C-alpha cells in the first residue's frame, strides 16, 4: 500500500469512488495502519458500506484500526477561524456574525482551504489526546468539485500572502505536492465517458496542480473467464447454434465486456502513461464491508507491482 499519509480518491460521479476509497482503507487497515476514512459534506453511501447507521462529525472507530468521519464544511470553517485568531473571543464574535459567514462562503477557496486544514488537523491528531492517523483516505467530491478543492491553495494565495492565513495556505500547498505526503487516485470504469473524464482529471491534477498521482484505477472490470480456445468455441457455437441460446448470450456478453476493459485500459495507459489497476466487478446484490475483499486484494497487488 502507498506510503503517503493522505490518499485522495476522486473521479466522475458514478464510477464507484466511495467503494474504492473504502476498499483502500480496508487494505491499509489490514496491514495494521491506523486509518481515517473521510466523507465530505452530506452523508452518502459510505455509512451503508461500513454498515453503520450514520457517520459522526468527529472521527469514530468503526472497525479495528479504522475510523470514519463525515466532514462538515461549516464546522471546518469554525475550526479554521479559531485556529487563525489567537484570541478566542474574537473568533467567537466573528463566527456569530451572519455577515461574516456569508462573506466567507462567497470568497473563492476559503471553504475548501478550511476543509483541507481540517483534514491536516486529523492527520496530526486523531482526536483529543490521541495520536494522528497513519493514513487518511479522502472520499473526495466528483471530479468537477475535486479540482476546485485541490486548487484552493492557489486561489487563496492571491488573497493572503502574509500572516497566519498565508502560512497555512503555503503549508497546505506544499503538502499537496509532496509525494511522501499526498497521493491522488483517479477512478474510472470501462466506459468511454468515464475514461475520458479520468484522462482530463489526471491532466488537471498532474500538469496544472502538480498533485502526485497513483496509478489510475479501472473499477468494475469484468474478469477474463475464457481462453482463446474457449473464445473460438463460442464463435463456432454462434454460427452453428450448438449451445443453449441463454448461455451463448451470457458468454458473448462476458467476452464483449472483457474486450471493453482491455481497450479502455490501453487508452488510459497511452494517454496517462501508466497501466491502470483493474478492480474486479463484484457480482453481489450488496456492497458492504465484507464484499470489499476482492477489491482490497486487487488494490494491494496492483499498487505493489
Rounded alpha-carbon distances, angstroms, from residue 274 to 108, 195, 216 = 33, 13, 7
What gap in Å lies between CA 177 and CA 212, rounded to an integer? 6
> What is the pLDDT, as a whole number, of residue 259?
94
Cell 487563525: give the residue.
Answer: 84
* pLDDT of 17 over the 90 cut: yes
Q: Cα angle at 91 between 85 and 94, to 5 degrees?
A: 125
DSSP count for the chain of H helices, then E strands = 13, 8
Cβ atoms of 25 and 153 within 8 Å: the answer is no
Cβ atoms of 172 and 120 within 8 Å: the answer is yes
Helix (H) or strand (E) holding 23: helix 17-30
Q: What percent of the chain has pLDDT over 70?
A: 87
Of 9 and 284, the structure prediction assigns the larger pLDDT to 9
- What distance lies between CA 199 and its chain's CA centroid? 16
What gap in Å lies between CA 242 and CA 32, rounded to an integer? 53
Q: What confidence tens digit (pLDDT) does each residue in 99-130 have?
A: 555 556 656 788 899 999 999 998 887 654 56
Nearest CA to 138 among 287, 1, 9, 305?
Answer: 9
The dihedrals phi and psi of 233, each to the nearest 5 degrees, come to -65, -40
Confidence of residue 81 (pLDDT cuts 50, 70, 90): confident
- Running DSSP on this structure, what letter comes out for residue 130? B
CATH code of the domain occupying 6-223+265-304: 3.40.50.300
Instruction: Go through the chain and tell me how many residues it has.
Output: 305
> What is the pLDDT, as a whole number, of residue 260?
96
Cβ atoms of 220 and 279 within 8 Å: the answer is yes
> What is the pLDDT, as a whole number, of residue 85?
64
Per-domain residue ranges of the chain:
6-223+265-304
Helix (H) or strand (E) holding 135: strand 135-139
Question: Under 8 Å CB-to-CB from 234, ≥6 apart: which residues?
Answer: 226, 243, 248, 251, 252, 255
* pLDDT of 257 over the 60 cut: yes
- The answer to pTM > 0.85 is yes
> What is the pLDDT, as a whole number, of residue 164?
79
Rounded to an integer, the average pLDDT of 3-31 is 94
Cell 454462434: give the residue.
Answer: 238
User: Could you tell me if residue 65 is left (phi over 0), alpha (psi between -120 and 50 degrees) or otherwise beta?
Assistant: left
Rounded to an integer, the average pLDDT of 55-62 is 91
Q: What confidence tens digit (pLDDT) does each residue in 180-231 have?
A: 999 999 999 999 999 999 999 999 999 999 999 999 999 999 999 899 999 8
Helix (H) or strand (E) holding 149: helix 143-150
Cβ atoms of 179 and 211 within 8 Å: the answer is no
What gap in Å lies between CA 134 and CA 65, rounded to an integer? 10
Nearest CA to 20 among 251, 298, 239?
Answer: 298
> What is the pLDDT, as a whole number, of residue 111?
85
Nearest CA to 138 among 238, 21, 28?
Answer: 21
- Average pLDDT of the residues of the chain: 87
Amino acid at each position: 500500500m502507498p506510503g503517503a499519509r493522505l490518499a485522495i480518491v476522486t473521479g466522475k460521479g458514478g464510477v464507484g469512488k466511495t467503494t474504492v476509497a473504502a476498499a483502500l482503507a480496508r487494505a491499509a487497515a489490514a496491514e495494521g495502519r491506523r486509518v481515517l476514512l473521510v466523507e465530505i459534506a452530506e452523508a452518502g453511501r459510505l455509512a451503508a458500506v461500513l454498515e453503520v447507521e450514520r457517520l459522526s462529525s468527529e472521527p469514530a472507530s468503526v472497525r479495528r484500526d479504522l475510523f470514519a468521519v463525515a466532514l462538515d464544511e461549516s464546522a471546518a470553517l469554525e475550526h479554521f477561524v479559531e485556529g487563525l485568531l489567537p484570541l478566542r473571543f474574537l473568533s467567537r464574535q466573528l463566527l456569530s456574525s451572519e455577515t461574516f459567514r456569508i462573506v466567507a462562503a462567497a470568497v473563492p477557496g476559503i471553504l475548501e482551504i478550511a476543509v483541507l486544514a481540517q483534514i491536516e488537523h486529523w492527520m496530526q491528531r486523531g482526536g483529543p489526546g490521541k495520536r494522528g492517523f497513519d493514513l487518511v483516505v479522502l472520499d473526495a467530491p466528483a471530479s468537477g468539485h475535486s479540482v476546485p478543492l485541490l486548487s484552493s491553495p492557489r486561489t487563496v494565495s492571491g488573497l493572503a500572502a502574509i500572516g497566519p492565513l498565508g502560512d497555512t495556505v503555503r503549508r497546505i500547498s506544499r503538502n499537496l505536492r509532496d509525494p511522501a505526503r499526498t497521493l491522488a487516485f483517479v477512478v474510472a470504469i470501462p466506459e468511454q465517458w468515464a475514461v475520458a473524464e479520468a484522462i482530463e482529471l489526471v491532466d488537471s491534477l498532474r500538469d496544472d496542480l502538480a498533485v502526485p498521482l497513483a496509478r489510475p484505477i479501472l473499477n468494475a472490470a469484468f474478469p477474463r473467464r475464457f481462453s482463446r480456445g474457449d473464445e473460438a468455441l463460442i464463435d463456432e457455437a454462434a454460427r452453428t447454434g450448438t449451445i443453449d441460446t441463454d448461455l451463448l448470450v451470457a458468454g458473448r456478453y462476458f467476452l464483449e465486456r472483457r474486450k471493453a476493459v482491455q481497450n479502455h485500459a490501453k487508452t488510459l495507459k497511452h494517454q496517462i502513461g501508466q497501466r491502470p489497476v483493474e478492480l474486479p466487478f463484484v457480482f453481489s446484490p450488496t456492497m458492504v464491508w465484507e464484499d470489499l475483499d476482492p477489491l482490497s486484494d486487487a488494490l494491494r497487488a496492483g499498487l505493489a507491482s
